Amino acid sequence: MTDPVLDVRGLRVEFPTRRGVLTAVDDISLTIGRGEILGVVGESGAGKSMTGMAILGLLEPPGRIAAGEIRLSGTRIDTLTESEMQKVRGRRIGAIFQDPLTSLNPLFRVGDQLVETIRLHTDLSKSAARARALELMREVGIPAVEERIDNYPHQFSGGMRQRIVIALALCAEPELIIADEPTTALDVSIQAQITALLKRLCRERGTAVMLVTHDMGVIAETADRVAVMYAGRLAELGAVEDVVRRPRHPYTEGLMGSIPSLRKDMDELQMIPGAMPRLNSIPQGCAFNPRCAHAGPRCRRDTPRLETTGAACWLALTGETA
Amino acid sequence: MLAFLIKRTANAAFVMLAVALLAFVIFRFFGDPVEMMVNEQATQADRAELRERLGLNDSFVTQYTRFVTNAAQGDFGISYRNQQDVMVLIGERFPATFELVLVATVISLVVGIPLGVITAVHRNSRLANALQLGSIVGVSLPSFVVGILLILGFSVSLGWLPAFGRGETVDIGWWSTGLLTPSGRAALVLPALSLSTFQITLVMRLVRAEMLETLRSDYVKFARARGVPKARVHWVHALRNCLMPVITLTGMQIGNLIAFALVTETVFQWPGMGLLFIQAVTFVDIPVMAAYLMLVSFIFVLLNTLVDVTYAWVDPRLRDDAAKAGGANG
Ligand SMILES: Nc1ncnc2c1ncn2[C@@H]1O[C@H](COP(=O)(O)OP(=O)(O)O)[C@@H](O)[C@H]1O
Ligand code: SF4
Ligand SMILES: [Mg+2]
């Protein structure tokens, strides 16, 4: 069996603070295969972005990886030096962030930002890199590229800017793309276009994608598998059809039950009473137990874990919570 | 934009009229100009005749109007002390002050910008903390103390650099420059350093504050995610976004530097406008004092107006209008 493109095992991200160590990501294990799209969902603050930044090696100090291993096509990348990691970022892992309005440097022409990225990761000459930039811009669906390449970011709309961000992520044909809520900041009318574009480009290239989103509809339409995160931990991981149709974790069930149309922002959810705990007050045992209708003594004592698929829930794992 | 220009120019003109009023009052009522100009043997009739000729019997408004009209044409009268045209005197001294301020400004940028970047990028490091502390010393040390310390260190103890004067100068037209001779350049080092200390810390602190803000921005994180090396992200991508306020500050501060140069020029006996002014004060040479006041104020007002106009020009809202005209759509 070949190695998965991304293999994260037991990842823990901590923030030492004056009032103790906060664990933002706790024991996350997941894999993404070639050409596979893994959706990652969870309420805001669940640790989705932290996981992505940890994989990119871009945690802001004092945040740090406290435990676990991250492998990219079989090689450890969490132990690389900064200069080695610079050759991974942009080259082997592309990134797309939430807000296209702020992802591009306002003082540089979009073409210069593309050429810069291409030349960082390839041996192309300036003119060859410019030709490649034009080709990429065309590929992501920007009209009149010859005129547009020398424009500044503010001369593009949000949707167009996110297309350029996608082109930047694809510059070096990376094995993996981490897309952190790539459409959340966009107009609803163009969200679907951007998601479809991302999906098509990655499918064509066999790129693995970690797609972080709030939108269960996007997951259902785009992802192959889905990981549900809660309070820094994995609640459930499985094939999209299974998780959507037969959720096994009470939290996921709550999410799905409250999404009749599968097209709702998860922040608006009012179905599950209570709120996700703050990092400094995560309850013992299952982090979801204060909000769970099935919680039993065991849930308040021991932390349920999930191995590769399934739900991190005593009820699902053992059929009882006593 | 046009309305703004007119408003801003009117504003500037008003400020200059107010300064002119102040200068005029000093000129007219601090001591009697006639007493200053005539010699002891002059008769009462001579004095009355001179008073009439100078227009000193006219009404206040007439005299003020005449003062403003003359000043606008660069005519500030004759120096009481050496009977020379005041504008000629100032013209002779202006290049010295200008070169001092120019070099001090360049030093403040060349030193202040990198220090600002370093203290922002390596915040909390020992080096950054030391530099921060140093900058507090830099803003709080009076400029003449810095000057005296520099003289003690580099001229008296080490004997490397001259402590006073301007060295040899070369005339290019009416402009006498010290930048083209070795002794002129050597003489410029200590005064320029002394004048720039405060400015260095100002630039450093501004760049640091701007960088801290910029380093948090998405495009900096995204540049790192694209694989751009850290140093390039800091010194190219982030720094460029911090330069606009630095340029503004530098522009605004040139007026301050010219004013501060007064102290530096006195400490280093630098033959600029500031020294001329100090000497004028000693001899109660009112026309020179009035002209200096008017000129320095004029430079202040001019720079402020230019900066304001430039700001309106690059206002993001104007840019956004341009974006709409560019016809971008999703
Ligand atoms: N610098 C920091 N120090 C301490 N906690 C942080 C810091 N940055 C983020 N966090 C916390 O880490 C948690 C995970 O955040 P994040 O990964 O951004 O969530 P998500 O992307 O799922 O919305 C949040 O609870 C957030 O408050
Ligand atoms: S482990 Fe217990 S508390 Fe947690 S989700 Fe399952 S049943 Fe609910
Ligand atoms: Mg996030």
CATH at residue A211: 3.40.50.300
What's the average model confidence in pLDDT over A156-162? Answer: 93
Q: What is the pLDDT of residue B24?
A: 86
In whole angstroms, what is the distance from residue A167 CA to residue A165 CA?
A: 5
Tell me, yes or no, if B320 comes closer than 8 A to chain A by beta carbon.
yes
Fold type of domain B87-280: MetI-like fold (1.10.3720)
The beta-carbon neighbor of A103 closest among B219, B230, B320 is B219
Ligand 2 atom closest to Cα of residue A292: 8
Predicted pLDDT at A1: 61
> Which of B217, B219, B232, B318 to mutate to test binding with chain A, by most A CBs within 10 Å of its CB?
B219
| A101 within domain boundaries | no
pLDDT computed for residue B239 by the predictor: 93
Would residue A97 count as lying in a domain? no
Going by CA atoms, what residue is nearest to atom 1 of ligand 2? A313
Kindly state the tokens that stand for A202. Answer: 């990655």
Domain boundaries, chain B: 1-81+283-330, 87-280
Is residue A139 a part of any domain in this protein?
A: no
Q: What's the mean pLDDT when you consider all of chain A?
A: 90
Please choose from A11, A13, A14, A15 the residue to mutate so as to test ligand 1's pocket, defined by most ligand atoms within 8 A of CB: A15
Which of A223-227, A277-281, B293-297, B307-311 has the highest mean predicted lDDT (pLDDT)? A223-227
Q: What pLDDT was estimated at residue B134? A: 86
Total domain count for chain A? 1
The 10s digit of each residue's pLDDT in A12-47 is: 999 998 888 999 999 999 999 999 999 999 988 999
Mutating to test ligand 2, I would choose from A276, A289, A306 the residue with most ligand atoms within 8 A of its C-beta, which is A289
Residue A15 lies in a domain: yes
**Could you tell me the residue range of the domain that residue A203 belongs to?**
6-92+172-318
CA distance B235 to B208: 12
The answer to whether residue A55 is domain-embedded is yes
Residue with the bigger pLDDT between A136 and B124: it is A136
Residue B310, C-beta contacts closer than 8 angstroms, at least 6 positions apart: B248, B251
Q: Enumerate the β-bridge partners of residue A64.
A: A14
Whole-structure pTM value: 0.81
For A315, counting Cβ atoms within 10 Å of its Cβ (0-12 exposed, 13-18 middle, 19+ buried), the class is buried
Is B319 part of the contact surface with chain A (CB cutoff 8 Å)? yes
Domain presence at residue A237: yes
All residue ranges of chain B with pLDDT < 50 are 316-330
For residue A143, the chain B residues in CB contact (below 8 A) are none
Is B240 within 8 Å of A107 when comparing Cβ atoms? yes
Looking at residue A239, what is its pLDDT?
Answer: 95
A150, part of any domain: no
B274 closest CA partner among B292, B284, B258, B262: B262
Whether A285 maps to a domain, the answer reads: yes
Here the tokens at position B251 are 């522009």
What pLDDT sits at residue B113?
Answer: 95
Q: A244-267: per-residue pLDDT in tens?
A: 888 999 999 888 765 545 444 554
